[in-house]
Amino acid sequence: MKNYRDHIPCSMAYATAKRSAGFLTKGSLLVPLLAVLLLSACSTAPIVTGPVEPPLRRYEDLVKPGQPNMLDVKDSVEGFNRGSYRFNYYFDEYLYRPIVRGYEFITPNYVEDRVSDAIDNLGEITNLTNNLMQFNLKAAGITVSRFVINSTIGVGGLWDQAKKMGLNRQTEDFGLTLGHYGSGSGTYLMLPVLGASNVRDTTGLVADVATSNYLGPVAWINDSTFTYAYSGIYAVDRRHRIPFRYRQTGSPFEYELIRSLYTMKRDYDIGQTGEVK
């Protein structure tokens, strides 16, 4: 019984997360952030059912204090995050991937790649702003050239002709820009629907969504139908390109593994900012 009561807040978290997903596309992160604050109370301690006996292999005996451990990532709202991870698993399994599979079934691979290229081309705006903010002028120049070439010769971005000319995509986001200037990652966050992140990268995401809304494709064509269509195609294309499948690790520690690898990958990417790819 105790167990069930403990979980009421988390099931509320799912409901809140579901509703907040709609707001995200409009750039409002207020609701999920509130949810984070409210629901960080989900217990991360096991439920005690009797006199607790310490196990044979104890953490204290095996881990020397101060020894670096990549599994240790700052995770102040772990209870919420694990609930969110679980929500994402069901969301992915029963809604997101079925839609993406449908898209993959009806769309020839060649067309899928054209969609990806077009989405990438429209996304160059945040690469440009972030390269500029990092004062990486060469990368910013390449981004402008890519956009011009791909929008014209590449017919509205459907073909990445610039890449064939040796101009690689200079992917940057505002989370990386913040990291570039020394901002710490803050606590790890598992965002509903959007997946692994942290405070720094979530802030970055909000900024990039705002940039895209005010300067990007959504602003160019001020039409709500276009905005919905763009957001929908963007979401489907994004999942289509990520090979990740939940439970593919076959590990009971998948949450930990994703958290560590996400953090290491972002640290690596921040180390690469300021360079031309």
Partner 1 sequence: MKRLLALTLLIVSLLADRPATAAPPQSYFYPFVNPYEATVMELPKEFEVRLPDQVPVYEFVIRPFPHREIPEVFWYEKGLACSLVYQEHKAPLVFLVAGSGSRFDVPRMLKLQKVLYQAGFHVISITSPTHMDFVVNAASGLPGIATDDAKDLYRVMDLAYQKVRDRIQVSQFLLAGYSLGGFDAAFVAKLDDREHHFDFKRVLLINPPVCLYDSVSALDRLLVQNVPGGMDNFDTWFRGVFSETMHLTESWGPGGLSGESMYRTYKRMQPSESNLAALIGLTARMNAADMIFTADVMNGGGYIVPKNVRLTSTTSLTRYATVAYKTSFIDYFEQWLFPHYQKMEPGLTREELLRRETLRSLEGYLKGSGKFGLIHNEDDIILVPGDIEYLERVFGDRAWIFPSGGHMGNMFHPDVVSAITGFLKGKEE
| Interface positions with partner 1 (CB under 8 A) | 3, 6-7, 10, 42-59, 62-64, 67-72, 75, 78-79, 82-83, 86, 89, 196, 242-253, 255-258, 261-262, 264-265, 268, 271
Report in angstroms how near the CB of residue 196 gets to partner 1 at its nearest. 7
Report in angstroms how near the CB of residue 123 gets to partner 1 at its nearest. 16
Which residues 6+ apart lie within 8 Å of 158 measured at CB?
114, 117, 118
Q: How many residues does the chain have?
A: 277
* CA 10 and chain centroid, separation: 21
CB nearer partner 1, residue 39 or residue 122? 39
CB nearer partner 1, residue 71 or residue 106? 71
Structure tokens at 199: 């405070």
Q: Could you give the CA distance from residue 36 to residue 99 in angstroms, rounded to a whole number?
A: 28
**Residue in the structure block whose two tokens are 């929908």:** 232
What secondary structure does DSSP assign to 71-126, as a single string? T----TTHHHHHHHHHHHHHHIIIIIHHHHHHHHHHS-HHHHHHHHHHHHHHTHHH
Report in angstroms how near the CB of residue 255 gets to partner 1 at its nearest. 7
CB nearer partner 1, residue 46 or residue 182? 46
Report in angstroms how near the CB of residue 75 gets to partner 1 at its nearest. 8
CB nearer partner 1, residue 49 or residue 109? 49
CB nearer partner 1, residue 110 or residue 225? 110
Dihedral in degrees, nearest 10, Cα atoms 255, 256, 260, 265: -20
Report in angstroms how near the CB of residue 83 gets to partner 1 at its nearest. 6
